[in-house]
Amino acid sequence: MKVLLRNPRRELDMAGPIAVRALLGSLDFNRESVLVIVDGTLVTGDATIPDAATVEIRPVISGGSS
């Protein structure tokens, strides 16, 4: 699978299938601090990512009203 990371932008090739939590653990990411998008769809931590997928990992950005 192709894994696209943001901040800084980089691209990795990894073997799948793999669970989202396992992927994030192998990359040393906290599940609560990132969004995982598989082939254009936001997925949960218990989803399994197929080998042929494109995965984008983006940092969570929060804001509030003033």
Give the full edge-to-edge strand order of the sheet including 2-5.
10-13, 2-5, 54-59, 34-38, 41-42
Whole-number percent of the chain with pLDDT over 90: 76
Please indicate, yes or no, if residue 48 is contained in any of the structural domains: yes
pTM of the predicted protein model: 0.85
CATH of the domain at 7: 3.10.20.30
For 19-55, how does the pLDDT look when each residue is reduced to its tens digit (9 = 90+)?
999 999 999 998 889 999 999 999 998 999 999 999 9
Please indicate, yes or no, if residue 66 is contained in any of the structural domains: no
Domain hosting 12: range is 2-59
Please indicate, yes or no, if residue 65 is contained in any of the structural domains: no
For 46-66, how does the pLDDT look when each residue is reduced to its tens digit (9 = 90+)?
999 999 999 999 998 876 665
The number of domains in the chain is: 1
